[in-house]
Amino acid sequence: MDGLAERAARWRWLTVASGEAAKEMATAEGLWQRLLAAGGKRDSRILALGGGSVGDLAGFVAGCFLRGVEYAQLPTTLLAQVDAAVGGKTAVNLPGAKNSVGLFHHPALVVADTGCLSTLPRRELRSGLAEVIKMAALLDTRLLGQVERRWDRLVAADPEALAPVVAAAVRAKATVVVADPTEAGERRLLNFGHTLGHAIETVSGYRRLRHGEAVAYGMLFALRLARARGLPARDADRLRAVIRRLDLPPLPKLARAGLLAAMARDKKTREAGLAWVLPESLGRGRIVSDVGAAELRRQLSAFLADPWA
Ligand SMILES: NC(=O)c1ccc[n+]([C@@H]2O[C@H](COP(=O)([O-])OP(=O)(O)OC[C@H]3O[C@@H](n4cnc5c(N)ncnc54)[C@H](O)[C@@H]3O)[C@@H](O)[C@H]2O)c1
Is residue 221 domain-shared with residue 280, that is, in the same domain?
A: yes
Active-site residue flag, 12: no
Question: Where in the sequence is the domain holding 180, given as residue range(s)?
Answer: 117-305
**Protein residue closest via CA to atom 34 of ligand 1:** 120
| 174 and 225 together in one domain | yes
Cα 134 to Cα 172: distance, rounded to the nearest angstrom: 11
Query: Are the CB atoms for 182 and 150 separated by under 8 Å?
Result: no
Active site residue 194: yes
- Give the binding-site residues of ligand 1, using a 6 Å CB cut-off: 18-20, 23, 50-54, 56, 76-77, 79-80, 83-84, 87, 89, 99, 116-117, 119-120, 124, 127, 211
- Tell me the pLDDT tens digit for each residue of 236-282: 999 999 999 999 999 999 999 999 999 988 766 666 678 999 999 99
Question: Same domain, yes or no, for 194 and 49?
Answer: no
Q: Which residues of 169-183 are buried (b: 16+ CB within 10 A; e: fewer)?
A: bbebbeebbeeeeeb
Boundary-marking domain end, from 94, 112, 130: 112
Which tens digits make up the pLDDT trace of 150-162?
A: 999 999 999 999 9
Task: Count up the domains in the chain and report the number.
Answer: 2
In the reported structure, the alpha carbon of residue 20 is separated from the centroid of ligand 1 by a whole-number distance in angstroms of 8
CA distance 193 to 305: 18
Q: Which residues contact 276 (CB under 8 A, 6 or more apart)?
A: 195, 222, 225, 287, 288, 289, 291
pLDDT at residue 34, rounded to an integer: 97
> Are 82 and 121 members of one domain?
no
CA of 253 relative to ligand 1 center, distance in Å: 25
Give the three-state DSSP class for 211. helix
How large is the greatest C-alpha to C-alpha distance in the chain, in angstroms? 64
The Cα angle at residue 225 between residues 133 and 274, in degrees rounded to 5: 95
Provide the whole-model pTM: 0.94
Of all protein residues, whose CA lies closest to atom 35 belonging to ligand 1?
Answer: 120
Annotation says 191 is catalytic = yes
Q: How far is the CA of 268 from the centre of ligand 1 (A)?
A: 21
Q: Please indicate, yes or no, whether residues 94 and 159 belong to a single structural domain of this protein.
A: no
Does residue 154 share a domain with residue 96? no
pLDDT score, position 247: 97
Residues 275 and 143 in one domain: yes
Q: Is 67 a catalytic residue?
A: yes
Residue 65 has pLDDT above 80, yes or no: yes
DSSP 8-state secondary structure symbol assigned to residue 24: B
Let me know whether 122 and 103 are in one domain: no
- At residue 109 the predicted structure's pLDDT band, cuts being 50, 70 and 90, is very high
Whether 173 sits among the annotated catalytic residues: the reply is: yes
Q: Is 187 a catalytic residue?
A: yes
Are the CB atoms for 254 and 304 separated by under 8 Å?
yes
Residues 6+ apart with CB under 8 A from 181: 88, 104, 187
Q: Domain ends where: 112, 138, 160?
A: 112
Q: Indicate which CATH number applies to the domain containing 60.
A: 3.40.50.1970
**Comparing C-alpha atoms, which of 174, 275, 277 is closest to residue 222?**
277
- How far is residue 84's CA from residue 88's CA, in Å, rounded to a whole number? 8
Whether residue 102 sits in one domain with residue 147 = no
Ligand 1 atom closest to Cα of 90? 1
Q: Clarify whether residues 30 and 128 are in a common domain.
A: no
From residue 222, alpha-carbon distances to 124, 228, 229, 280 in Å are 23, 10, 11, 11
